[in-house]
Amino acid sequence: MFSTEISGDLKQLIKRITPGFEENLVRAFKNEGLRYQQSTNNNRNINKLDSVFISVDDTKIELANLKFPWTPDFRIIKLSADLSMLCLDVAFKLGDLRTEGDYEATNMTLQRLLPITSNGRIETTFRDVVIRGKVGLLIEGDSFVPENYDIEYESTETSISVRCSFFLNIQNAFNCHMCIAYFMNKTSLKVAPQ
């Protein structure tokens, strides 16, 4: 059913009950957030994330073993319901989100000359994160089930901390040595007198 197909009486009823529904939804969301926050803080729950693969030109980066070391504290900025369209307009403030994990970076062109890969730990902090968007609702029995998320994340600042080490591929070490020797023999450094 589309909102244009709703009768005038039903539209008036939806308009009358929406403020109470929104009020109860906000209260339930806050209560559930507090309950979840207390249970995760007591259990020190760590949320694991999927690995991320990034490819820029011939550089390949893998972020693995990513995790949130804590659960974000959702603060409601806006939560309004459009029951005739079965959706919620939402905005939440999450504060700072920190992720940590491992990374490995490889440059394929550089690998031919210097058989080096870089790997180590990465920590990323997204400051003052705010999410905004719409959440579609599906009616199942006597409940609304969230579905079809259209959410955008915004942060004011992102800081990245990297601890790295380099790995020398022994199979290509001889080729690397030959390549460096070749460049050292072909390259001369001339300094002009001043």
The model carries a pTM of 0.63
Task: Tell me whether residue 192 is in a domain.
Answer: no
Task: Tell me whether residue 191 is in a domain.
Answer: no
CB 78 within 8 A of CB 90: yes
pLDDT at residue 67 is higher than 60: yes
Task: Tell me whether residue 34 is in a domain.
Answer: yes
What tokens were used for 121?
A: 């730990």
Give the CATH number for residue 156: 3.15.10
Q: How many Å apart are CA 74 and CA 61, to the nearest integer?
A: 31
CB 161 within 8 A of CB 123: yes
Task: Tell me whether residue 50 is in a domain.
Answer: yes
pLDDT at residue 182 is higher than 60: no
Task: Tell me whether residue 193 is in a domain.
Answer: no
Task: Tell me whether residue 174 is in a domain.
Answer: yes
Task: Tell me whether residue 140 is in a domain.
Answer: yes
Task: Tell me whether residue 81 is in a domain.
Answer: yes
What is the pLDDT, as a whole number, of residue 62?
Answer: 92
What region, left, alpha or beta, does residue 120 occupy, with left being phi > 0 and alpha being psi -120 to 50 degrees? left
What is the pLDDT, as a whole number, of residue 101?
Answer: 93
| Strand duo 143-154 + 116-140: pairing | antiparallel
Residue, of 42 and 178, whose pLDDT is higher: 42
pLDDT at residue 106 is higher than 90: no
- What value does the mean pLDDT take over residues 82-105? 89
What is the pLDDT, as a whole number, of residue 178?
Answer: 43
pLDDT at residue 194 is higher than 70: no
Local confidence band at 168 (pLDDT 50, 70, 90 cut-offs):
low
Contacts of 113 (CB under 8 A, 6+ apart): 176, 179
- What value does the mean pLDDT take over residues 165-189? 46
Backbone angles phi, psi at 114, to 5 degrees: -125, 110
Q: How many domains does the chain have?
A: 1
Residue, of 5 and 134, whose pLDDT is higher: 134
Provide the domain limits for residue 33.
Answer: 3-186
- Per the prediction, the chain carries an average pLDDT of 78
Percent of the chain whose pLDDT exceeds 90: 16
Per-residue pLDDT reduced to its tens digit, 5-18: 778 888 888 888 88
- What value does the mean pLDDT take over residues 186-191? 38
